[in-house]
Structure 1
Amino acid sequence: MANLKGGASKGGQKKKPGDFKRPKRKVGRKVVQSNVTNASIQSRRINMTEQSMLQDKSGAAVTHRNQTLQDILSKASHYNAHVRRDAMSSLKELIRLHPMTLVANIGLVLERLLQVMVDDEAIVREACVATWKDCFVSLASSHSEQVVVPFAQLILVYFCSGLTHLKPSVREDVLRHINAVLDIPAFALLLAGALSPEQCGRLLENFKDSISTKASTVHVKNSYSLFAEKAKVKQSQLQSSVLKARFFAVEVVHKLLQALDKVTTIAATGVHKDELNLTSNTSLLLLPRSQVVGWSSHREPVKGTSEQDQSWPAKALALLPPLLGLWMECHGDDNTALPPTVLTHLILIVEASTIIIRASTLKADDPALKVYAQTYFTDFPRAPMEIMSNAESSTLHFWSALNLSIAQCGCECFVGPNAADLDDVLTQFVQSEFDNLVLSDPSVRQVAQGLLLKGRLQLPSQHGRMCC
């Protein structure tokens, strides 16, 4: 049948191409109009730190990496622990190369070191201890100890804060900082003379927990300590490390008490204040107990307490119980198995107790001191007979030094009108020591023992039959 419309057949028709292809849009997408121009700009940048090696710092004190003091101190507060550690190493290098830079900027350096002293990371504190030691050695070498005096109270605040820190590792590192100061005699006397009796007593009080048997069981660990801990520490090793830390605390307390006692002795003998290397920013006051302190004329005692109760001799009495507890723990029942390390620290415990009791107001017949007299003199002399009879014993010298320390403690602190028996015991011991020194053949051991006896055993003159 013919197509009436005159067109081609349906099967032979071709589709005409469209003008444009309609894009398929996703649901919810906003269609951008075609007449809108995008004016946003995208850019990228590369942050490059300024390299100190390329800067011109001619005439300034710099390290081998061209770092000045300001560059180092700014990195000491960096968020990365390794950068803070490197800053301490750079500061140590700068002090060795340019000692006068430390003297001119002692305030900035001390403030930053004291902040890093209680850092959370052990690697930073380890580097800070080494830098701290070099600082005080450099000041002592240049005879610039006086520049530290205005910052004595600031140092005390950080020491007290560090000794009461939550982490035991921080407390141990703070003890290392204190020990570094006390190892230099000039700074030990300077610190003891620049602080007031109340401040010295506050510092001594904070040593109580470090010596006491009740150690803190709280251990705060960070990422660095977790990575370093590869195996679980045995209980015996943990107890050994705790005892070692307590021994180190006794060493630091002994040095501090010696410095305080020496300052008191200097004041009692009427030495001029210039011999103590004190500057004019603190006034010297001679207390009724003849004690030189850096005491402000406007300071008032705490309400309800006297100045004598706030002084370091009164505060130091709190150290006697932990010292006695450590003595009983180390001495034990078997005296023959004590190593030289333990004997050395037993000597330090006795000498520290002697200084505390001598400086305090306690009398020889005071009931509070009876327990200490019984502890030290129950089986005096302390050395077992099998050790004393063996002349080749390696610990014989330590036992002799321990007995002499106990004898000195008894002569200075426990001998009184009501201690006739103790007086006889000490007299017999001193007489036997001199008899052995005279009758024995000259040898290195006997000479050392005799020098130790003459140098350390200073008996009071009121007991005529016991005087050397």
Structure 2
Amino acid sequence: MARAAAATKQKKKPADFKRPKRKVGRRAAPAANVTSVGITSRRINLLEQSLLQDKAHAAQLTHRRQALPELLQQVGHYNGHVRQKALQGLRELAGQETAANLRANASVLLERFLPTLLDEEAVDALRAIDALVDEAPELLREDAGREALARLLENFRDLICAAQTQGIRMMNSYDLLLGEEPKSGKKAVNGHKSQKTSQKGKQMKAKKPKAPSGALALRLAALKVLHKLLKSVSTEHRDGSSAGVGSARSTSAPMTKTLLLYPEPQLIASGMFSTAPTTTSAGVKATASWQVKVRALLPALLELWLECLEGSVDTLSDGHVEHMMYIVECTAIVVSANTDLLTATSTSNGGDDEFFVAALKLREELLAPESFPMLPSASESLAAASESLGVLSRWHDMNAALAKLACEYLRVPSLLCGLGKEVSPSESLEKRIQEYVVLTLAKYTVTTELRAVAKPQQMELGRRSLFALISVLKQLPTEWAAGDQMDGVLTNLAAFFDLAAEPSTSAAKKSEQKVLARTRFDALGAADQLSFVALVYHVPRYPVSLLRALASCCKSPRICSEGKSFLVDILFQRREALDLAHFVSFLVSTALAPVNPEEQQQRQQLELVNHVCRTFVAMNLGNSLPKILAPTLAKAQAREGLSPVELHTLVMLYRTCVISSSSCNEELQHQRSDIPVEMERELVGLSAKVLVEYSASSSPQKVSEQVVSREQERLLSEACVSTLALSEVNIFASFLDELLLPQQPLALGRRLRVLQALVRTTDLVGAFRRHQNHVTQLLHKLEQQYTGEDDVAKIVRQLRGDLELLAVGQLTEDSSVSMN
């Protein structure tokens, strides 16, 4: 009975959880493992926050108080937004004035941000990269290290080629622009298919060419960084080399301008790329240089060129043309850096060398007859666009880059031969460069699009055409300077600068007169005149016709004064290519140009004459300059009715002759200068005439309504006094005799007052002390001749008192009398 009861009794199952018994009106009890959320705090400080870090000694900080190490760490962050903000912070640091910290860590900085070019998650970061690329020339200095920069070039090669494995190709924009029907759609069935394709073609016509996307966009971004890198290195070396050349040519005169818009062309030279030891992965030291690293770029540049050139030239967008120009310029730098290697390779085993073959393939692709000069086809739509915007457009920069690359290839004759292809003489590279240079400059005088003043866009085309011509002239071989082709270029250039040629007045050539009025050099603005004057520096030689044309520009009042002085500086820098007689004639004609009655024009003319005088002194002609200028100055002084500006010009030229003749005898003070006797006589007469006529103390009746202002009179008198002080030994005694010649009492009184003012002039104190006996004798003669003239006797007594004070050194500046 008991066993049966025990067997029938069921065991209790364990409960999963105990259900709480909740009573109405009471709060539920919290669980044992609950996290309290009732913590309150003013702020929670994390280790990553920059506020906790001590950045008092940081060289640069962003507006978010981030330093360079923190930004470099965030560049490799897993979050795309963090990477983008890090790039923007680097851009902010690069734009600050104190960017020395970035330049000191340029190698680490560039190696960190270059992999972000392949960042697919944060494509928007390319904007920050593009802005950072603009600061690359400031970051790339020699302190970055040759090894680091060599590794950067190797990384660029990998970056440009990395996207090729993804199989992403650019969209062919040729069909999008022209709206051509596909070949499969030409056969229409009952007209339905043709109608459908025509509607599709209209839609495609309305679409604009898309920008490069995918891998091509990333490769183009890497190409832009590569272009900045190579350009900055080549520019830095060119500035250093041109500084040495400029120091040899420049003058010691402190006021002479020597800065040119375009210095001597010299890209990367072999001397700069000295081998730098690097350590390989095996621990073995190997020699790596810029030359070795940049050679690996040519195959990648060739592939990128072929990918950009898909389709027709007419369908290329502005972005494609810009990056294709980068490819051409990078190729030119690489070829220029390895000119010696290419020349040596061609003589040994040129066909087996990969770099030589790559350079040859690039020459065939980039400088093919259909590629250089690169111009769009003459279709109706392009012709209509050409009439409105001008024939010369964005292709100027591309053709200029191609022409410079062609000049680099001309220096390596072995690269001019094709890979088993025969080239006709008319399509040879030399012939095409010649035609490009001549036709580019011929457009300056033949067409009106380059000189049109009414349309700023056409003036911009003319400026770009000018820069293209300058770029080509900088790279032409030296043997082309004496060729017949250059004669045509110089003839067109002389016709453009010649302002003395008057257009014909016949009615048949009325349209031609309008063209000349718009194509003359004086029709340009002041800024454009400076740009076009820079072309003169790059001309290989200067015929007489060109110098006459340039002299007409310096004589014209329509040319800005800065352009005239800039032209004088350019010819002075290129004086080795000029005939000395022609250059002196140019300077004299510039100084003795007709003077405009306007006061501002007169002031600018005097500044130009002063600049010409400094140039004469810098030429170091010595005693030859007075002998050369003596007949010309005597002829100019013999004219009647000379204005004060013309007299001032003559005084400055005479003073220049005295300085030039006495510059070789600087050690021997107070020695007689070797100037002609005729010039001494002319200078004495001119000095006496100027001081008597334009001294304010001798002519108190002068008023402000006269043509010459009092300021010009003061400057003229000061120039004459300084000339007397410089030529004291030569003409001072003769000047005193000329000044105190027997005259009427009234005229003699005026001359004595001029002498009194000169005695009290500080610059002539030493001269009067040394000639005191001579002055005393002249005054004694005047007293005997004019015994009954009280005014003359009074001034003579004052002069004797001044001379006595001058002898004992008590005539100070306080008692001096102003000349004006």
Superposition TM-score, scaled by structure 1 size: 0.62
Measured in 2, the distance between the counterparts of 1:358 and 1:175 equals 31
Q: Tell me the residue number matched to 1:359.
A: 337
**Aligned counterparts, 1:304-319, within 5 A:** 307=287, 310-319=288-297
Amino acid at match of 1:376: L
Shift in alpha-carbon separation, 1:209–1:176, aligned structure 2, 3 A: farther
Relative contact order, CA 8 A, sep 6+: which one is greater? 1
Measured in 2, the distance between the counterparts of 1:411 and 1:247 equals 26
**Aligned counterparts, 1:158-173, within 5 A:** 158-159=112-113, 162=116, 168-169=120-121
Choose 1 or 2 for highest CA Rg: 2
**Aligned counterparts, 1:117-196, within 5 A:** 117-137=75-95, 139-140=96-97, 144-159=98-113, 162=116, 168-169=120-121, 179-184=130-135, 188-196=137-145
Q: Tell me the residue number matched to 1:452.
A: 467
- In the TM superposition, what is the alpha-carbon distance from 1:385 to its structure 2 partner? 4.1
Measured in 1, the distance between the counterparts of 2:105 and 2:113 equals 12
1:370 is the counterpart of 2:360: yes
2:442 maps to which of 423, 431, 435:
435
Shift in alpha-carbon separation, 1:108–1:154, aligned structure 2, 3 A: farther
- In the TM superposition, what is the alpha-carbon distance from 1:108 to its structure 2 partner? 7.0
Q: Tell me the residue number matched to 1:291.
A: 272
Q: Tell me the residue number matched to 1:6.
A: none
Check conservation: 2:273, 2:290, Cα contact below 8 A: no
Measured in 1, the distance between the counterparts of 2:33 and 2:214 equals 59
Check conservation: 2:291, 2:337, Cα contact below 8 A: yes
Q: Point out where structure 1 has 5 or more consecutive residues left out of the alignment.
A: 1-23, 30-40, 56-66, 76-97, 219-235, 272-286
- In the TM superposition, what is the alpha-carbon distance from 1:69 to its structure 2 partner? 12
- In the TM superposition, what is the alpha-carbon distance from 1:411 to its structure 2 partner? 0.8
Check conservation: 2:102, 2:109, Cα contact below 8 A: no
- For residues 400-427 of structure 1, the C-alpha deviation after alignment (integer angstroms, 9 at most, x for no partner) is 2211110111112444345493222211
Amino acid at match of 1:373: R
Measured in 1, the distance between the counterparts of 2:297 and 2:81 equals 31
Shift in alpha-carbon separation, 1:343–1:238, aligned structure 2, 3 A: closer
**Aligned counterparts, 1:320-399, within 5 A:** 320-361=298-339, 362-363=341-342, 366-379=356-369, 380-386=372-378, 390-392=386-388, 396-399=392-395
Measured in 2, the distance between the counterparts of 1:407 and 1:270 equals 26
- For residues 167-215 of structure 1, the C-alpha deviation after alignment (integer angstroms, 9 at most, x for no partner) is 5446x6786665444413xx62442322222211211211223322743
Measured in 2, the distance between the counterparts of 1:347 and 1:73 equals 47
2:402 maps to which of 406, 420, 430:
406
Check conservation: 1:210, 1:249, Cα contact below 8 A: yes
Shift in alpha-carbon separation, 1:44–1:333, aligned structure 2, 3 A: closer
Q: Secondary structure at the match of 1:71?
A: coil
Q: Tell me the residue number matched to 2:228.
A: 255
Amino acid at match of 1:341: G
Q: Tell me the residue number matched to 1:200.
A: 149
- In the TM superposition, what is the alpha-carbon distance from 1:439 to its structure 2 partner? 1.6
Measured in 2, the distance between the counterparts of 1:237 and 1:336 equals 15
Identity of aligned residues (%): 22
Shift in alpha-carbon separation, 1:160–1:215, aligned structure 2, 3 A: same
Shift in alpha-carbon separation, 1:190–1:268, aligned structure 2, 3 A: farther
Higher mean C-alpha displacement, 384-393 vs 198-207 = 384-393
Check conservation: 2:71, 2:90, Cα contact below 8 A: yes
Q: Tell me the residue number matched to 2:818.
A: none
- In the TM superposition, what is the alpha-carbon distance from 1:315 to its structure 2 partner? 0.9
Measured in 2, the distance between the counterparts of 1:268 and 1:47 equals 72
Aligned length, in residue pairs: 355
1:416 is the counterpart of 2:407: no
1:110 is the counterpart of 2:65: no
Q: Secondary structure at the match of 2:49?
A: helix
Check conservation: 2:227, 2:330, Cα contact below 8 A: yes
Q: Secondary structure at the match of 2:230?
A: helix
Check conservation: 2:150, 2:289, Cα contact below 8 A: yes
Measured in 1, the distance between the counterparts of 2:221 and 2:404 equals 23
- For residues 153-173 of structure 1, the C-alpha deviation after alignment (integer angstroms, 9 at most, x for no partner) is 43244246656x7x5446x67
- In the TM superposition, what is the alpha-carbon distance from 1:398 to its structure 2 partner? 1.6
Check conservation: 1:212, 1:323, Cα contact below 8 A: no
Measured in 1, the distance between the counterparts of 2:33 and 2:430 equals 94
Amino acid at match of 2:42: Q
- For residues 234-267 of structure 1, the C-alpha deviation after alignment (integer angstroms, 9 at most, x for no partner) is xx99973322222222111111111121233244
Measured in 2, the distance between the counterparts of 1:45 and 1:127 equals 35
Q: Secondary structure at the match of 1:382?
A: coil
Measured in 2, the distance between the counterparts of 1:395 and 1:306 equals 52
Shift in alpha-carbon separation, 1:288–1:126, aligned structure 2, 3 A: closer
Higher mean C-alpha displacement, 354-363 vs 338-347 = 354-363
Shift in alpha-carbon separation, 1:395–1:437, aligned structure 2, 3 A: closer
- For residues 107-140 of structure 1, the C-alpha deviation after alignment (integer angstroms, 9 at most, x for no partner) is 9711111111122222222222222222222x22
Q: Tell me the residue number matched to 1:59.
A: none
Amino acid at match of 1:401: D
1:265 maps to which of 238, 242, 261:
238
Check conservation: 1:327, 1:346, Cα contact below 8 A: yes
Superposition TM-score, scaled by structure 2 size: 0.38
Measured in 1, the distance between the counterparts of 2:84 and 2:335 equals 36
Q: Secondary structure at the match of 2:342?
A: coil
Measured in 1, the distance between the counterparts of 2:313 and 2:12 equals 90
- In the TM superposition, what is the alpha-carbon distance from 1:304 to its structure 2 partner? 6.7
Measured in 1, the distance between the counterparts of 2:70 and 2:159 equals 25
Check conservation: 1:383, 1:400, Cα contact below 8 A: no
Q: Point out where structure 2 has 5 or more consecutive residues left out of the alignment.
A: 1-9, 16-31, 168-208, 245-267, 347-355, 417-424, 453-457, 487-537, 540-820
Measured in 2, the distance between the counterparts of 1:68 and 1:396 equals 61
1:244 is the counterpart of 2:244: no
- In the TM superposition, what is the alpha-carbon distance from 1:392 to its structure 2 partner? 3.3
Check conservation: 1:411, 1:459, Cα contact below 8 A: yes
Amino acid at match of 1:188: P
Measured in 1, the distance between the counterparts of 2:89 and 2:435 equals 51
